[in-house]
Amino acid sequence: MHDVQSIVRIRSGNQMVAEGALRAGCKFFAGYPITPASGIYKTMIDTLPGKGGVALSAPDEISALAYCVGASLRGQKAMTATSGPGWALMTETVQYALMTETPVVIATVQRLGPSTGGATQNAQGDVLFVENCTSGGYTIPVFTPSNPIECYELTHIAFTWSELLRTPVVVMLDKEVGMTSEDVNYMDIHDLTTLSRQRTSMSGNGMDKNIDTYYFENPEDVPSFVPVGGEIKSTVTGSAHNKAGRLQKNSPETLEVLYHLQKKIDANANQMELVKRDIEEGARTLIVSYGITARTAREAVRRLRKNGEKVSWLNVLSLFPVPENKLRNSLHGIERIVIPEENFGGQYRSVIENVFDDQDVVGVNKIGSMITPDEIIAKVV
C-alpha cells in the first residue's frame, strides 16, 4: 500500500485503523456507524470493495459482528468497528467467537459512558468492560494505540494474533486518538509481516471426510482451521464441546477444551507484550500510560526534563494480556508509579497494581475533560 517513497498524508487514527486492516489482508467488514468510530466504518465502506473485499452496512451491532464471525468461519479475515454502546451489544458474539475459536478483530473507540453517554466526548472508561466481557473470565487481547501510526501497526498486529491464536482481538482507541488527524509519513511505519491462520492440511472429498474440528495435541496448541462450507465437515458450536466440536457436558475432553481456550493465550502472553519505553537513569517516578493519555504523558515528560528533572515513561501498547515482564523490567530505582487515565476508578491501575513491588502507585483520574500535563506533573516525585 505504501511502497511509494516518502508519502506524507493527513490521517486520523480511525482512517489508519482501516488502512492497517487492509494491509493485514482484511477482506470482510461489517459495521453499524457510531460516533466516534464512524471514520473506520466510512473508510472500509469506501475502500474495501475496490480491493476485492466485502463491506456491509449491518442493521445493528449484533448483526455486524455476527456477519464478521460468519465470514471468518468461512476463512476470510474480518473486522468490525464500534464504540461502547455497540460493544455492549456485541459481547454475546465476542464470546461466541472466542468459544468457536474464530479469528475476528474488533476496533472499539471509547466515548463517555455509561449507556449512550456522550457520543462526542473522550473517555477511557471501557477498559474493564472490554476485557471482562466473557463468562468465565477469559483473556481478550487488547491493543491501545496513541497516534495514527500506532493505529495502523497495532491493527495489523491485532490481525496477526487473532489469526495465529484463533481468537477475537480488540483494538481499543479513545475518541481523541480515533478522530484527531495528524501528518503521517508512511515511511515511518515499521516492517510488518502479514500472517494468517494455520489451515488444515487434510483434503476432503465431498462431506464424507470427518476430522476433529478442534483437534489439538497440547492444550496451548491452536487447532488447524477447517473452513465452514468446505470439503471437510466443520462442526461449530458456542456451547461446551469436545475436540470434534460436538456439544458435551463436563467430559474430561470438554474441560480440556475450556482450559485450552485460555492456555493458548497464556502461552503466548510474553510474545504479545508491547510497550514503548523512555527510561531515564536516576528517575524515581515512572509514568505508565496508554491511549490519548500517553500523549499527555509525553508532554509532561518533555516539560519535566526541560526543567532538569528526571522521569521515566512507559506507554502500554498491549493492554491485555498485561505486559508483566516489561512493566517489571522498568522499575529499577523507581519509587512511584503515576498512571493517568480518563476514567474515575483508575481501571487499568487496579489491574496492574499487583505487578509492582513496594512502589507507591498513584492515579491521575477524571472524566468529562482531558487530563492535562500539569495534572500529571503534580504527582511526579
Partner 1 sequence: MTKNKLNEEIIFAGFGGQGVLSMGMMLAYAGMLEDREVCWMPSYGPEMRGGTANCIVIVSEESISSPIVTTFDSAVVLNQPSLDKFEPAVRPDGLLIYDSTNIINLPTRDDITIVPVAASAEAVKMENKRIMNMIVLGALLEVKPVVTVESVIEALRKVLPERHHKLLPLNEKAIRRGMELAQAASTVETE
Select the span of 164-172, 177-185, 203-211, 347-355 touching partner 1 (CB under 8 A). Answer: 177-185
| DSSP-assigned letter for residue 199 | B
Report long-range pairs for 205-211 (Cβ below 8 Å, ≥24 apart): 205/231, 206/231, 207/231, 207/233, 209/233
DSSP 3-state of 11: strand
Site for partner 1 in 361-380 (CB under 8 A): 370, 372-373
Residues binding partner 1: what is the number (CB under 8 A)?
22
Establish if 131 lies at the interface with partner 1 (CB under 8 A): no
281 binds partner 1 (CB under 8 A): no
> Least distance in Å: CB of 215 to partner 1?
49
The residue among 81 and 158 lying less far from partner 1, judged by its C-beta, is 81
Q: Could you tell me if 204 and 213 are in contact, meaning their C-beta atoms sit under 8 angstroms apart?
A: no
For 312, the grid coordinates are: 521515566
Binding of residue 118 to partner 1 (CB under 8 A):
yes
Say whether residue 54 binds partner 1 (CB under 8 A): no
Run of H or E including 252: helix 252-266
Nearer to partner 1, 131 or 174 (CB): 174
Position of cell 510497550? 275
Residue from 3, 183, 191, 358 binding partner 1 (CB under 8 A)? 183
CA separation for the pair 56, 44 (Å, rounded): 9
- Lay out the site mask for partner 1 across 147-176 (x = CB under 8 A, - = otherwise): -----------------------------x
CA–CA distance, 225 with 22 (Å, rounded to integer): 22
Is 47 a binding residue for partner 1 by CB under 8 A? The answer is no
Tell me how far the alpha carbon of residue 373 is from its chain's centroid: 26
Give yes or no for residue 292 binding partner 1 (CB under 8 A).
yes
Indicate whether 296 belongs to the interface with partner 1 (CB under 8 A).
Answer: yes
Q: What span, in angstroms and rounded, lies between the C-alpha atoms of 172 and 266?
A: 20
- Residue window 55-94: x/- pattern of binding to partner 1, with contact defined by CB under 8 A: ----------------------------------------
Number of Cβ within 10 Å of residue 327's Cβ equals: 20
Name the residue nearer to partner 1 (CB basis): 292 or 334: 292
Q: Are 301 and 288 in contact (CB under 8 A)?
A: no
Residues that bind partner 1 (CB under 8 A): 8-10, 35, 118-120, 176, 179-183, 292, 295-296, 298-299, 302, 370, 372-373
